[in-house]
Amino acid sequence: MKERETSIDLPPPRPPKSGSQSQLLWVLITCIALAGGIAGGIWLGKKNARAKAPVVEQSTSPTIEKSLAEARLAVSRGNWNKAGQIYESVLKTHPGNLEAKASLPLVKKRLEEANGNIVVTSEPEGAKVTIAGRQSMTTPAEIKKLPVGKTEVRIEMQGFEPVVKTVAVVDKQTTLLPKISLQKSVGNIELVSEPRGIDFKIIKPASSGSDDLGDVIEIGKTPAKVESLAAGEYRVLMSAEGWPDYSQLVKVEHNRSASVSAVFARGGVNIVSDPVGAEVWASLGQGQMAKRGVTPLTLSDLPPGRHHVELRYRDWAPIKRTVEVTGNVTQNLEFAWKRSMVTFSSDPDGAAVYHNNRRIGSSVSVTPFIMEVPEGDYLFEARHNGLMKVTNAAYIEGSQSNQVHFPFAYGSVSIETDPPGAAVVANGIPIGRTPLRKPVVSPGQYSYTLSKENYKTASLSGIVEPGSQLAFNTKLATDTIPVVNRNFINGLGQQMIWFENLGGWVADTEMTQETYERLMKENPSDFKDPKHPVDSVSWYDATRCCDKLTVFERGLGNVPEGYHYRLPSDGEWSEFAGDANLTNAISSAYKKYRSSQPVGSAAPNSYGLYDIRGNVAEWVLDWYSQQILNLAEKEGAVVRQEWVGTERKVLRGGSWLRSTQVTLEKSYRRGGRPSEKDGNDIGFRVVLMPQ
C-alpha cells in the first residue's frame, strides 16, 4: 500500500494555564536570545566604525526580514517545528545572520524536549499498531509521549493488507488519525484433475502448518477456480470412488493464484452375455452393488482394484464374478447360462405363469407361450381369472425341449332367452345381454337375473361341475305393467324422464356431441367436446337426428308402440321447464363464458332436467307465429313482431352467450331460421311422445 503523509500544525497560543509554565519560559529565553543577537550586532557595528575598519553590514533585505518575523511569530505561538524550519532556511542563504544563529540551537533544544500523542482507530478493531518499528498496541490505541516530528505508523491484521502512514507529532497535542479501513487480503486456488469431475474440498486448517482438519471452505468438482480466499494456508482434498484421497497444503497470497492438479488413472471392463440384455450389477471398490446397464456393456473409468460383478436375467439364478482392474487396461468378460426352451400350456388357455411369485415372460405373456429357462428344479404356478391356482413341479434339462402343462378345474355357462337382448345380472353386477356364453367358470353354484323392458324379470340358478356346461334357455313372459309409467335409459345412454301430464318422456340433458355423432356420423359443433351439447346444428338436422334415434331405438325394442322421438313443442317446453332458474346456469349473466360447458354442469330443476336455462338454446317444433307472440307477451316476455311470418322456428331457454335478463327469461322466445347452422349457442333436447 502506498505510504501517505499527514502534517498537522500547532494551534494558536492559548492563555497560560497551570502546566504551561515551561513553554512560556522557553518563549522568554528565546526572546532574550533574539534581543541579545540584535544588540550584539549593533555594538559590533559601532566598534568597527570607531576603528574606521571596513563595515560588513548584516543583510536586512525585505525577504529575510519577513522570514525572521514569521519565525518570531511561530516561537510566540509555540510552533517550534515551523520556527526551526524557517531559521534553517535563513542560515542556508545567509550563514552570518546573528538572529538565526542565536535562536536555532534554542529551538532545537526545545524540540528535543517536546512530545505529543497519536490516537489510531481501525475497521475492524484489534489491528496491531507499530510506531517507528518499536511501540506496539492494538486498535483502538492512544500512543503517548512521542517525539515531535514526523513518525511512521504501521497498522496490520492477519488476513488484511497492512497500512503505513507518516504522521507529524505536534508538541502537547493529540493527533487523531482518520479511521483506517483495512482491506482483506485475498487470492485464488485453481483445481484441475484427470479425469475431470473429481470431488474436492478446500479446508482451512486449525493452525498454520497443521494437518488437523478445520473448517470446510468450499466443496465442488474439478475443474474449478475458487476465488476471494483470505491469504493463508489451506488443505485441498480430492477424492474419487476407489482411490485414496489426494491431499495438498496450499499457501494463498494476496492477488495471486495457487494451483492444484491430480491424475487418477483408470481401467475398464467389456462385458458380454448369452443371452444379451442381462442386467449388469457391480460394486466399485468398497461401494454398494448397483445396476450399471445391460449387456453388451463397457464399464470404463474404473478405479484400480478388485470389483464384484453380477449378471441378472429375468428370474434366472445370477452369475457372479470378481475382477481385478488395473490402470489403463480394459478386460473382456463373458457370461453364459445353460438353458432350455420350455413350452408352457394350460387348459383353458390364457393362464399367467409364476416362479417364486414372479411372473415368467412379459407382463402380457399367457399360455400357451415359449421361453428360455435355465437348467434346474422349478415349482411353477399358473393363475387364471376366476379359477383355482395350479402348481407344477418340474426339472428343466439343458440343451433339449421341455413342456410344462397346467390343467385347471372349470366348466362353462350359456344363457339364451326368447326374445334375445335380456340384461343378465350376477350378484348385482351386469355381465352382458343374451345370448350370453361364459366358456370358463370355476365349479360351483351360480345364480342369474334376467330383465328386459316390457317383460317380466326371470331368475336362474344351477351348479357348474368340472368339465361340464350349465345351459339355460328361457322364454321371457310379457310384462303387463306399462313401461310408460317409469323413467328409463335408452340404448344411447340417455336418461328419459316420464311426464304424466305430457304422456311421454323428456331427455334429462341436451343432446351431446358424442350421441349426435353416433347417430349422424358427423359433428358440426364449434366447441368440440364429447360431453358438451352439440351446437351449430340447424332445425332440420335436429329433426333428422330425432328420426334416426327413433329407428335406432326401435331396433333395440326400446320404443313403445305408437311413440317416436322428436323435438318438443313450445307448450311442452314450457311445461317441463318447471322451476328452472338462472342460479349457477351456464349463461353470461353473472359469469362470462367463452363456450358451452359439459351437459349437467349446473343443478337440475325439480323434475331432474339439466340446462333448461343456459348452455345452448333449444329448438322446438313451433314457428314464430302470432299465436306464439301473443303467448309470450301474455307471460311478460319481450317479443319481436317483425319475426312473425318470417319462417323462423322458436328457440327456448337462453344460452351460454346470453347475458341480458330479457333473453334469459324463461318465457322469452328467440326466433331462428330452420336452416341456420352457424349458431354456436344453438342445440336441442329430444322428447319421446305419442305420434
Cα separation, 606 vs 303, in Å, equals 79
| Residue spans per domain, the chain | 21-113, 115-181, 186-263, 267-336, 339-407, 411-481, 484-690
Q: What are phi and psi of 19, to 5 degrees?
A: 100, -10
pLDDT tens across 464-517, in order? 999 899 999 999 886 533 367 788 888 898 999 999 999 999 999 999 999 999
CB 454 within 8 A of CB 557: yes
Lowest mean pLDDT among 75-89, 146-160, 469-483, 498-512: 469-483
Query: Which DSSP letter does residue 483 get?
Result: G
CB 192 within 8 A of CB 199: no
Lowest mean pLDDT among 84-88, 278-282, 525-529, 533-537: 84-88
Cα separation, 446 vs 72, in Å, equals 137
Cell numbers standing for residue 597: 360447458
Q: For the domain 484-690, what is the CATH code?
A: 3.90.1580.10
260: number of Cβ within 10 Å: 21
Question: Look-up: residue for cell 517536546?
Answer: 114
CB 202 within 8 A of CB 218: yes
Asked, colleague to colleague, whether 186-263 and 267-336 share their fold, the answer is yes
SS3 22: helix
The answer to whether residue 327 scores a pLDDT higher than 80 is no
Domain 186-263: give its CATH superfamily.
Immunoglobulins (2.60.40.10)
Instruction: State whether CATH 2.60.40.10 applies to domain 115-181.
Output: yes
What pLDDT score does 145 carry? Answer: 75
pLDDT tens across 15-52, in order? 443 334 445 555 555 555 555 544 444 443 444 444 33
Q: Which CATH architecture has domain 267-336?
A: Sandwich (2.60)
Residues 6 or more apart whose CB falls under 8 angstroms from that of 82 comprise 9, 10, 70, 71, 74
CA distances from 10 to 62, 67, 70, 109, 285 (A): 26, 18, 14, 18, 78
The answer to whether residue 192 scores a pLDDT higher than 60 is yes
204: number of Cβ within 10 Å: 16
Which of 411, 399, 609 lies closest to 502 in space, CA to CA?
Answer: 609
Cα separation, 453 vs 45, in Å, equals 159
pLDDT tens across 508-541, in order? 999 999 999 999 999 999 999 999 999 999 999 9
The answer to whether residue 164 scores a pLDDT higher than 50 is yes
CB 236 within 8 A of CB 200: yes
What pLDDT score does 577 carry? Answer: 95
Confidence of residue 135 (pLDDT cuts 50, 70, 90): low
Lowest mean pLDDT among 281-290, 408-417, 492-501, 511-520: 281-290
CA distances from 532 to 442, 509, 515, 577 (A): 44, 10, 10, 20
Which of 60, 71, 53 lies closest to 107 in space, CA to CA?
Answer: 71
What pLDDT score does 6 carry? Answer: 34
The answer to whether residue 205 scores a pLDDT higher than 80 is yes
The answer to whether residue 335 scores a pLDDT higher than 50 is yes
**Omega before residue 124 within 30° of 0, cis:** yes
Cα separation, 350 vs 386, in Å, equals 12
Q: Which residue has the higher pLDDT, 82 or 630?
A: 630
Query: Class of the 339-407 domain?
Result: mainly beta
What pLDDT score does 630 carry? Answer: 95
Query: Class of the 411-481 domain?
Result: mainly beta
Residues 6 or more apart whose CB falls under 8 angstroms from that of 496 comprise 487, 488, 489, 490, 505, 506, 507, 508, 688
The per-residue pLDDT of the chain, averaged, comes to: 84
Confidence of residue 244 (pLDDT cuts 50, 70, 90): low
pTM to 2 decimal places: 0.37
Cell numbers standing for residue 374: 435355465
pLDDT tens across 105-133, in order? 888 777 777 778 888 898 888 888 888 76
